[in-house]
Amino acid sequence: MKGTTLAELLHLARRRLSDAGIEGAAFDARLLVEDITGTTRSEAITDPDRLIDADMLTAVDAALSRRISGEPVHRILGYREFHGLRFSLSAETLEPRPDTETLVDAMVPLLAEIGERKGTCSILDLGTGTGAIALALLAAVPRASALGVDISEDALDTAARNARGLGLSERFKALRSNWFEGISGQFDAIVSNPPYIRSAEIETLQKEVRNFDPLRALDGGADGLDAYRTIARESARHLETGGFVAVEIGSSQKAEVTDIFLGAGFLMKTALRDLTGNDRVLMFTGGGKA
Ligand SMILES: C[S@@+](CC[C@H](N)C(=O)[O-])C[C@H]1O[C@@H](n2cnc3c(N)ncnc32)[C@H](O)[C@@H]1O
């Protein structure tokens, strides 16, 4: 009996997801098939008649069922690319998003300059999750070291594993802390993508986000700004003179978060939009130790 070829499997997977109304069906089908069969996009073109093992067909079938039931494709894969690096995910980590690359891109030249000038550059990443921001910065700035803080042990285990996988563990430490509670010392940069969704809004999020990203990574309190207040209040004590605080924000929060930081004595350095044109990153200076 003739088996199923790679081309047929890709076609069937795509059709099954699009028939189920999955947005981005072709992309998700390709990611799942490639991951499970260990094939590449170019092999789909150069070797379309390759026969696929029965156990791989079963695995693709199960993955498609999970996708159709609402699980995001990267949760099924167990990893997601961020800033060109692969990050493992776990139950209590947010999937790193492309929007957050805006913060990394903005920080790299500033941190590289500090690293050149001082020979080292220390980074505090508050709410590190998978370690995405801290580890992407370490990969781009060889003289930097980072402390990744999270309230979730599961996230810290995942961040430490990602650091090992990326060969960055010598320059990365993971610490359990409620924001600054367990932190001592000063840093050249404090970065954070904190939870910033208003509590009442969580129910209205897409089910892929609401059901699969951890609540602690999303819920920013009644007005979504709880974490910014803490970061603005506490950062000055932990920032080296001439250092930077950079935070990701929700697209409607620029004015409110700016007010919080200016009210805490910081100066605005820059405000950046993400690739889709939404306000996404605010960077502040000042407030450092005398
Ligand atoms: C929006 S996620 C960001 C994750 C990662 N930095 C990224 O950009 O993909 C926010 C993170 O803050 C952590 N968090 C929430 N409350 C916290 C707290 N009180 N202290 C430290 N971390 C906290 C969550 O566990 C989560 O990992």
* 144-150 and 121-126 beta bridge pairing: parallel
How many angstroms does the Cα of residue 90 sit away from the middle of ligand 1? 13
- The domain boundary, picked from 77, 109, 138, lies at 77
118 with 234, same domain: the answer is yes
- For residue 149, the cross-strand partners are 126, 175
The answer, yes or no, to whether residue 19 has pLDDT greater than 70, is yes
- Say which CATH number the domain at 237 has: 3.40.50.150
Is the CB of residue 195 below 6 angstroms from any atom belonging to ligand 1?
A: yes
Which pLDDT band, with edges at 50, 70 and 90, does 278 fall under? very high
Do the annotations mark residue 179 as ligand-binding? yes
97 with 126, same domain: the answer is yes
d(CA 43, CA 227): 46
Give the percent of the chain with pLDDT over 90: 96
Give the per-residue pLDDT at 2: 72
**Residue 198: Cβ within 10 Å count:** 17
57 with 178, same domain: the answer is no
Q: Whose CA is nearest to atom 7 of ligand 1?
A: 96
pLDDT tens digits for range 114-172: 999 999 999 999 999 999 999 999 999 999 999 999 999 999 999 999 999 999 999 99
- The domain boundary, picked from 53, 77, 101, lies at 77
Which pLDDT band, with edges at 50, 70 and 90, does 252 fall under? very high
Is the CB of residue 196 below 6 angstroms from any atom belonging to ligand 1?
A: no
Closest ligand 1 atom to Cα of 82: 9
14 with 114, same domain: the answer is no
* Chain mean position to CA 21: 26
Q: Is residue 84 part of a domain?
A: no
214 with 105, same domain: the answer is yes
Is the CB of residue 149 below 6 angstroms from any atom belonging to ligand 1?
A: yes
Is the CB of residue 94 below 6 angstroms from any atom belonging to ligand 1?
A: yes
Which pLDDT band, with edges at 50, 70 and 90, does 1 fall under? low
Is the CB of residue 17 below 6 angstroms from any atom belonging to ligand 1?
A: no
The answer, yes or no, to whether residue 50 has pLDDT greater than 50, is yes
How many angstroms does the Cα of residue 128 sit away from the middle of ligand 1? 6
277 with 186, same domain: the answer is yes
Closest ligand 1 atom to Cα of 218: 1
Q: Is residue 27 part of a domain?
A: yes
Which pLDDT band, with edges at 50, 70 and 90, does 286 fall under? confident
- The domain boundary, picked from 50, 77, 104, lies at 77
Q: Whose CA is nearest to atom 4 of ligand 1?
A: 129
31 with 141, same domain: the answer is no
Q: Average per-residue pLDDT in the chain? A: 96
Q: Give the total number of structural domains in the chain.
A: 2
The answer to whether the beta carbons of residues 280 and 272 sit under 8 Å apart is yes
Q: Whose CA is nearest to atom 8 of ligand 1?
A: 193
Contacts of residue 19, defined as CB under 8 A and 6 or more positions apart, other chains included, come to none
Closest ligand 1 atom to Cα of 194: 10
pLDDT tens digits for range 223-248: 999 999 999 999 999 999 999 999 99
101 with 242, same domain: the answer is yes
- Say which CATH number the domain at 18 has: 1.10.8.10
Cα torsion for 213, 62, 25, 51, to the nearest 10°?
140
The answer, yes or no, to whether residue 179 has pLDDT greater than 80, is yes
Contacts of residue 6, defined as CB under 8 A and 6 or more positions apart, other chains included, come to 33, 37, 39, 43, 44, 47, 48, 49, 50, 52
Do the annotations mark residue 109 as ligand-binding? no
Give the per-residue pLDDT at 288: 42
144 with 219, same domain: the answer is yes
The answer, yes or no, to whether residue 290 has pLDDT greater than 50, is no
183 with 274, same domain: the answer is yes
Do the annotations mark residue 98 as ligand-binding? no
63 with 162, same domain: the answer is no
Contacts of residue 38, defined as CB under 8 A and 6 or more positions apart, other chains included, come to none
Is the CB of residue 247 below 6 angstroms from any atom belonging to ligand 1?
A: no
Per the structure, the complete domain to which residue 20 belongs is given by 6-77
What DSSP character marks residue 128?
A: -
140 with 244, same domain: the answer is yes
Is the CB of residue 133 below 6 angstroms from any atom belonging to ligand 1?
A: yes
The answer, yes or no, to whether residue 26 has pLDDT greater than 80, is yes
pLDDT tens digits for range 74-101: 999 999 999 999 999 999 999 999 999 9
